[in-house]
Amino acid sequence: MADRSADAARAELSSPACMMHEADDAYMGYLSRDELINFLTELLEAERAGARVTLETARAADNPPIAELMRAVQRDEAHWCGMLTRHLWALGVTPSDNVGAFYGKAMAIADLGERIAFLNRGQGWVVRKLREALPRVRADALHADFAEMLRSHETNIARATEVMTQITISPASTG
Q: CA of 104: how far to CAs of 65, 90, 110, in Å?
A: 24, 30, 12
**Three-class DSSP labels, 50-90:** HHHHHHHHHHHCCCHHHHHHHHHHHHHHHHHHHHHHHHHHH
If the CB atoms of residues 54 and 137 are measured against Fe ion, the closer one turns out to be 54
Residues that bind Fe ion (CB under 5 A): 47, 50, 126
If the CB atoms of residues 9 and 39 are measured against Fe ion, the closer one turns out to be 39
If the CB atoms of residues 9 and 44 are measured against Fe ion, the closer one turns out to be 44
Q: How far is the CB of 54 from Fe ion (least distance, A)?
A: 9
Q: How far is the CB of 50 from Fe ion (least distance, A)?
A: 4
Backbone angles phi, psi at 56, to 5 degrees: -70, -35
If the CB atoms of residues 51 and 167 are measured against Fe ion, the closer one turns out to be 51
Q: How far is the CB of 122 from Fe ion (least distance, A)?
A: 7
How far, in whole angstroms, is CA 162 from its chain's centroid?
21
If the CB atoms of residues 25 and 47 are measured against Fe ion, the closer one turns out to be 47
Q: How far is the CB of 43 from Fe ion (least distance, A)?
A: 8
Q: How far is the CB of 110 from Fe ion (least distance, A)?
A: 22
Burial 26-57 (b: 16+ CB within 10 A, else e): eeeebbebeebbebbbebbbbbbbbbbbbbbb
Name the residue number minimizing CB distance to Fe ion: 50
